[in-house]
Amino acid sequence: MKKILLIAAVAALGAASCQKDRTCSCTTTYPGGSSSQDIVYKDATKSQAKAGCVSTTETNNGVTVTNDCKLK
C-alpha cells in the first residue's frame, strides 16, 4: 500500500512541476531577408512546447523559406 501511495505522490508532483511558460524562438529566412519572433507557450510541459516549436523548410515556385525554431 505504501508503494502505491508513493508512486501516486511522485507522479502527481512530477506532472504539476513540469508545467511553466516556455519560449520558442524562431528565425524565418527568405530571399532578401529574415525575421525573428518568440512564441510563448503558457503553462506547458517541455514535450508540449517542443511539439509546437518545429523547424521547417518550404519551397514554392522556386522560392525557399526556412523557419529555424529552438526551444529556450
Q: Confirm whether 61 is domain-assigned.
A: yes
Q: What is the pLDDT of residues 12-57, one digit of tens each?
A: 555 555 899 999 999 999 999 999 999 999 999 999 999 999 999 9
The strand pairing partners of 68, in sequence order, are 27
How many distinct structural domains can be found in the chain?
1
What cell numbers appear for 28 in the block?
Answer: 524565418
pTM of the full structure: 0.70
Domain that holds residue 51: 18-71
64's grid cell: 525557399
For residue 48, the tally of other CB atoms under 10 A from its CB is 14
Say how far apart CA 60 and CA 47 lie, in whole Å: 30
> Considering the domain boundaries, does residue 45 fall inside one?
yes
Residues 55-72: pLDDT tens digits? 999 999 999 999 999 999
Amino acid (1-letter code) at residue 24 = C
Tens digit of each residue's pLDDT (9 = 90 or more) over 4-15: 544 655 555 555
